[in-house]
Structure 1
Amino acid sequence: MFKVAVIGASGLLGRAVVRELAAETPWQVVPTAFRHGGPQQAVLDVRDAQAVNAFVEREAPDAIVLAAAERRPDVCEHDPAAARALNVDAVRRVAAAARQRGAWVLSISTDYVFDGTQPPYRIGDTPNPLNAYGHSKLEGERALLETSDKALVLRLPLLYGPIVGWHESAVTSLVPAIIASGEPGAQAAPMDAWATRYPTFTPDVAFVIRELLLRCADGEPVCGVAQWSGDEPMTKYDIAQRIAQALGVEARLLAQPSPTDATPRPRDCHLDSSRLETLGMGRRTPFDAAIRAVLDAFTRDGTQRSA
């Protein structure tokens, strides 16, 4: 039976991938988590070479989905060594272990490898990251492809989907400020109206990853670099307006036309998804429907509703 290891299975995207594979395939799925391992998850620290080698040797997966990373730009800026340990060294380590096993590896990367000045970006366009996060992910891409010729970098933009708390996505992290701005006498909540993002629903990404794994299982793995993105351009101000509408909140939002982040971020890194589209892959859930489903799972104070 085809066997898939999902490294980083406790995260926003990793959970969606495990859920998709469990529901839609007969494959054996081995999820791992850094510190939240449970009955269904093995604990694996990808920074530990011995642990990675032992895991791959023991489980002998046919494919590995690597979704573990340091994805917070501000954290990467302040601690580049820690970012490199996860985003570069761990990728090389997993790729080397996979190569020994003959396993295909899919590693998640980001639109932040580009500078955002000339969208849309095709897979062959020259990267030019603006911040430490983008640099570390670009180095991780190179580490993967230098280490294994049976590997795929999948670049993704801003992700959102089923969450464990508002903080888990840069989309849903806006919710507390949106709700607070609707309270009587509250000040307007400032929202970036400068950078254009393309929010992408994690169940849609998981669908794409399953399609890529199907190709691998059929002996036709997709290798090199691929990209997938939602197709609705929005600033954070736009996102906040649509979240407020979904919540039924009369939010007071203040559009900020200039960047205010301490860490430099690109203006518009729209990823061209044509490689996967040409292969007949992909699914895009409309943002309004998807965000409503995400929000409906929580009360306004951020408490998860019981199933």
Structure 2
Amino acid sequence: MGQHVTVVGRGLIGSALVGRLRRDFGVVRTVARSGARTDEHEPCDLGTRHGRDGLLGALRRWGPDRVVLTHGPSDVTWMERHPEEAAEAHAGLARAVAAEFGPRLLLVSTDNVYPGTEPLRTPADRPRPANVYGRVKLAAEQAVRDAGGRVVRVSLVYGGWSPPGQRVTFAERCLLAARARQPLTVPEDQWFTPVHLDDVTTVLTALCRPGAEAPALTHLSGPRQLSRYEFARAAYRLTGAGEHLVTPCPRADSEWASRPRYSSLRCDDFAAATGTPGWQPAGVGTGLRAMLAAAPAPSGVTAR
């Protein structure tokens, strides 16, 4: 009998992970806010006690070997305005599930657990969140790790294309604006280590396998630190648009003002976990080219 996995959340990471797992594993089920109830999916509002009870009921029925927590919300700006709701959705849910399924948990966390004053953080560095997102995720991490689960912190994830009507990633916004030859203003003083969605699903899938070789806390990021301005210029360059259309601005004067100065991690070694000697995440050029190859028609968007 194959490994049974339940993925909680169907956002960018959760949706892509489900597709990958269904190619590699025997049974994959999902829990998320939306969708109709089926044998393989349970709709729950995970930010409420009733929704968390529904999640626990589904997990008890299904008895998964691994539970992957990829749920949101992930909008940093929204969470600054709604800290209590954010805490319930992240830390509250983690505590509820960890009490019963702790050793089976795999939590996808964030680089926002660090204050953003220094670059390329490692798991040995002490977390000190500077925003609500980092605080609620750190509390969720603690609940999972105390119960014997595993945590993977990821830097900004890009890749894939959001369905119509959903909030899009920064990479989508850059590519769509570049293809339309539209100007874009982005911070030159906010740095990150963006990691492609395919690499995230590769690592998470590997960590769902029995006996996966990896520490209980790991960092997954792209191979290079760069600013949002540099990332946007790379997107314009790859589409053949003029890089002069990208204008730098201070982070404090932008919609990313609540983000840390540095949202960057030093990537751990996942070669043993993936079973691929020398495995490394893809660079931004490779990742953006893959996105362009699958790009839909441009439309009006807002950025994550």
Equivalent pair of 1:167/1:173 in contact (CA under 8 Å) = no
CA offsets, 1:119-173, max 9 Å, x none? 3212121111111111111111112223x12x01110010111122483212223
Equivalent pair of 1:227/1:276 in contact (CA under 8 Å) = no
Structure 1 residue 83: deviation in Å? 0.8
Equivalent pair of 1:52/1:97 in contact (CA under 8 Å) = no
Q: What is the SS of the residue equivalent to 2:167?
A: helix
Equivalent pair of 1:6/1:18 in contact (CA under 8 Å) = yes
Structure 1 residue 206: deviation in Å? 0.8
- Partner in structure 1 of residue 205 of structure 2: 210
CA offsets, 1:214-262, max 9 Å, x none? 2xx23x6756311111112221111111111222223511112453246
Provide the C-alpha distance between the structure 2 equivalents of 1:66 and 1:274, rounded to a whole number of angstroms: 20
- Partner in structure 1 of residue 29 of structure 2: 30
- Partner in structure 2 of residue 14 of structure 1: 14
Q: What is the SS of the residue equivalent to 2:130?
A: coil
Which residue type is aligned with residue 190 of structure 1? T
1:150-299 mapped onto 2 (5 Å cutoff): 151-165=149-163, 167-179=167-179, 182=181, 188-214=183-209, 217-218=210-211, 222=214, 224-250=216-242, 252-261=245-254, 263-274=257-268, 276=270, 282-299=279-296
Which residue type is aligned with residue 205 of structure 2? R
Structure 1 residue 22: deviation in Å? 1.9
- Partner in structure 1 of residue 142 of structure 2: 142
TM-score, normalised relative to structure 1:
0.84
Which residue type is aligned with residue 28 of structure 2? V
Provide the C-alpha distance between the structure 2 equivalents of 1:247 and 1:27, rounded to a whole number of angstroms: 40
Structure 1 residue 80: deviation in Å? 0.6
Query: What stretches of structure 1 of length at least 5 have no aligned partner?
Result: none
Q: Give the % identical residues.
A: 24
Which residue type is aligned with residue 50 of structure 1? D
TM-score, normalised relative to structure 2:
0.85
Which residue type is aligned with residue 155 of structure 1? R
Query: What stretches of structure 2 of length at least 5 have no aligned partner?
Result: none
Equivalent pair of 1:114/1:127 in contact (CA under 8 Å) = yes
Distance 1:93 1:191, change over 3 A: same
Provide the C-alpha distance between the structure 2 equivalents of 1:257 and 1:227, rounded to a whole number of angstroms: 28
- Larger mean Cα displacement after TM superposition, 161-170 or 284-293: 161-170
Equivalent pair of 2:4/2:25 in contact (CA under 8 Å) = no
Provide the C-alpha distance between the structure 2 equivalents of 1:162 and 1:274, rounded to a whole number of angstroms: 23
Distance 1:116 1:230, change over 3 A: same
